[in-house]
Amino acid sequence: MKRFNKTFDWRFWIFMPILGILFPYIINLTKLTANFKIIVSLFIINMVFSIVAGRFLRHTGAFWVLLLVWPIIFLISVWLQINSTFYGYYLALLYLILEIFAFTSGQEEELDIDKQIPIDGGFGEV
């Protein structure tokens, strides 16, 4: 139950709709240039959040299916026409890829490979 509570921490999950829907809506209401909006909001902030989301889900031991939540929330903003469909679908895919990289980083090698004892003809009991 403790692992479940760590994964579904409301402080983390509340950032997804804020950064995916509310923040782009507020940025679109400002008089900033379109390039600044895209670079700051969609690239820098959301990409950093994608990496943080992947690392958070790995740290809490969450199921990999939860990696789909953040890109889907961003796609909702595309479907609501808050973000452009021209680049919205590609960015959602990019956020998913960044989350997957952050979720699986450090899992390339066998962690206990140095502790194994090799014996001719295979491994045996010690």
What would the pLDDT profile of 35-93 be if each residue is shown by its tens digit?
888 888 888 888 999 999 888 888 887 788 888 998 999 999 999 988 888 888 999 99
User: 0.85 cut: is pTM over it?
Assistant: no
Is position 28 within any domain?
yes
Q: Is the pLDDT of residue 113 over 60?
A: no
- Report the C-alpha gap between 12 and 68 in whole angstroms: 15
What is the pLDDT averaged over residues 21-30? 87
User: Quick check: is 120 in a domain?
Assistant: no
What's the number of domains the chain is made of? 1
In a domain, 90, yes or no: yes
- Tell me, what's the pLDDT at 93? 93
Share of the chain above pLDDT 90, in %: 21
In this prediction, what percent of the chain has a pLDDT beyond 70? 78
Tell me whether residue 68 is in a domain. yes
User: What is the extent of the structural domain holding 98?
Assistant: 20-34+63-104
Whether 69 is covered by a domain: the verdict is: yes
Query: Does 7 fall in a domain?
Result: no
Residue 121 within any structural domain of the chain: no
- Is 27 within a domain? yes
What are the CA-CA distances from residue 55 to residues 12, 23, 80, 125 (Å)? 12, 22, 28, 37
> In the prediction, which pLDDT does 51 show?
92
- Give the mean model confidence (pLDDT) for residues 14-32: 86
- Exposure string over 10-29, b if 16+ CB within 10 A, otherwise e: eeebebbeebbbebbeebee
pLDDT, position 38: 83
